[in-house]
Amino acid sequence: MTRPQDGCFIGLMSGTSTDGVDGVLARLSPAAGARAAPDPSFSIRTLASVSLPLPDALRHELLALNVPGADELARAAAAANALADRYADAVEALLARAGLRAADVQAIGAHGQTVRHAPESGYTVQINAPARLAERTGIAVVADFRSRDVAAGGQGAPLVPAFHAACFGQGAGRVILNLGGIANLTLLDETVRGFDTGPANMLMDAWIQRHRGEPYDRDGAWAAEGRCDPALLDVLLSESWLRQPPPKSTGRDLFNLDWLQSRIDALPVPPEPANVQATLLRFSVETIAQAIARHAPHAREVLACGGGALNGSFMRGLADALPCPLATTDRLGVPVQSVEALAFAWLAQAHLAGRAACLPAVTGARHATIAGCLYPA
């Protein structure tokens, strides 16, 4: 017998950009999974939202754990505890803002921080301490959303297309474009599809952090100071992963500063840092536009979400490059910074309801699976 699936849920997300924790507390009505049109009986009412920065020491450690290093097991366990504590801070803030108690919330969906993603080798690693989070908050926690899909032969990513279909409607000729550290698409056709296209903000963030000590390029201002370097752009676009057909997913395992520096070093004359930033912006735009042209040629509109949707230079570049109109999910009443956190609230709801949310057409798994593992309060 499945548990009731309507009620209040919390979604927590700290994405590939590693810039902070986004959280939402929402009341979700009962809903099936992907549908041929938005479900009139399904509603999302956001009661509170919060964005908390990660402490610098934790942020640096999470980034460092993306590459092999000394004493990784102990360091990862300590970082997981620190991240769970920051998640708990977000939950406390959400409850206070909504005027609710822990007992009013059915579950928290907490993704954790991906530090390794190798589905071709049968594993994916998200740093998290869900038992600690359940203990701190007194609320059941659903976590480890990717592993079961990977065990079934899937990519374990992207996780959000089923939520996009339930929220925004399947078969609508609509593309949902998430501009986080990595860019991923949900194609809302008769069959829901989704896949990663490559970097969105990740390389731009890393490059400005190296050269200016800033966490991200606000509104693409530094990129606007430079000029796209055609030679570097050609080298970046020659990456073989970009030509792989879906299903596919990626992350820092491939697209990192070492990958970028090796391409820069292969050029006869290295571009100026601002020109590299401008080229990285163009690289993200081109890979997204090419993926949409190839896999969604009949799309009627693209709705962007995630932090990159707040970057005016990025959005203007996309608007010029895409074959159809570009807007944001704000147009449908879902704030761009809340979409992924809402998705994890929805995934927690789906888990309690025993509803499969990892779709084989998206991940390439042998069958649909129920995402996540439950840590009771």
Please indicate, yes or no, whether residues 15 and 133 belong to a single structural domain of this protein: yes
Please indicate, yes or no, whether residues 198 and 325 belong to a single structural domain of this protein: yes
- Within 13 A of 358's CA, how many CA atoms are on the CB side? 28
Please indicate, yes or no, whether residues 220 and 170 belong to a single structural domain of this protein: yes
| Residues of the domain holding 168 | 161-332
Confidence of residue 34 (pLDDT cuts 50, 70, 90): very low
CATH of the domain at 89: 3.30.420.40
- List of residues 6+ apart from 239 with CB closer than 8 A: 198
Please indicate, yes or no, whether residues 214 and 298 belong to a single structural domain of this protein: yes
Please state which of the ranges 1-15, 67-81, 210-224 shows the lowest mean pLDDT. 1-15
| pLDDT for the residue 31 | 55
Residue type, 210: R
Is residue 209 one of the residues assigned to a domain? yes
Count structural domains, the chain: 2
Listed ranges 23-32, 46-55, 161-170; the one with the highest mean pLDDT: 46-55
CA angle 196, 201, 205 (to 5 degrees): 140
Q: Beta strand pairing status for 182-188 and 174-179?
A: antiparallel
Please indicate, yes or no, whether residues 121 and 151 belong to a single structural domain of this protein: yes
Confidence of residue 19 (pLDDT cuts 50, 70, 90): confident
Inform me whether the pLDDT recorded for 333 exceeds 50: yes
| pLDDT for the residue 5 | 57
Q: How far apart are CA 113 and CA 151, in angstroms?
A: 19
Q: How far apart are CA 184 and CA 272, in angstroms?
A: 29
Confidence of residue 364 (pLDDT cuts 50, 70, 90): very high
Q: Over the stretch 38-49, which tens digit does the pLDDT of each residue have?
A: 455 568 899 999
Please indicate, yes or no, whether residues 22 and 105 belong to a single structural domain of this protein: yes
Is residue 185 one of the residues assigned to a domain? yes
Is residue 1 one of the residues assigned to a domain? no
Confidence of residue 29 (pLDDT cuts 50, 70, 90): confident
Is residue 21 one of the residues assigned to a domain? yes
Q: Over the stretch 87-133, which tens digit does the pLDDT of each residue have?
A: 999 999 999 999 999 999 999 999 999 999 999 999 999 999 999 99
| pLDDT for the residue 15 | 75
Please state the pTM of the whole predicted model: 0.92
Please indicate, yes or no, whether residues 17 and 151 belong to a single structural domain of this protein: yes
Please indicate, yes or no, whether residues 90 and 191 belong to a single structural domain of this protein: no
Is residue 51 one of the residues assigned to a domain? yes
Please indicate, yes or no, whether residues 348 and 318 belong to a single structural domain of this protein: no
Please indicate, yes or no, whether residues 130 and 277 belong to a single structural domain of this protein: no
Is residue 2 one of the residues assigned to a domain? no
Please indicate, yes or no, whether residues 85 and 228 belong to a single structural domain of this protein: no
Is residue 342 one of the residues assigned to a domain? yes
Share of the chain above pLDDT 90, in %: 88
Please provide the average confidence, as pLDDT, over all residues in the chain. 93
Please indicate, yes or no, whether residues 282 and 344 belong to a single structural domain of this protein: no
